[in-house]
Amino acid sequence: MLVSKEYLGYLARQVTKKLIEGEFIETKNLNSTIERVSAAVLEEMQLEDRINDEVRMILEAYQDEMRTTGASYQEMFKKVKQQLVQKYKAVL
């Protein structure tokens, strides 16, 4: 993940503030709401890391075949990652 925990906390506070100001949500416990928003944002940001890990596992299984056919690891990584992004309906 490319974002620091401090920035993640800041982002969660700002998102929560904007949701309250826009009357999209109401809350009696602001800190609890910020923590929940922070957890949701963190989970979404870690999605790309999990997809990258899955791509590496898939390509590891095909490394011998890729080596014999001369396939580029970087190109195959991009292609497999794009397929997984579509499969999980992720927005990266």
Please tell me whether the overall predicted TM-score, pTM, comes out greater than 0.85 for this model. Answer: no
pLDDT digits (tens, 9 = 90+) for 21-71: 999 999 999 999 999 999 998 988 889 899 999 999 999 999 999 999 999
Whether 45 and 8 have beta carbons less than 8 Å apart is answered as yes
CA distance 54 to 65: 18
Q: Which among 54, 51, 16 has a CA at the least distance from the CA of 36?
A: 16
- Structural tokens at position 81: 């990652």
Q: Which among 66, 68, 69 has a CA at the least distance from the CA of 58?
A: 66
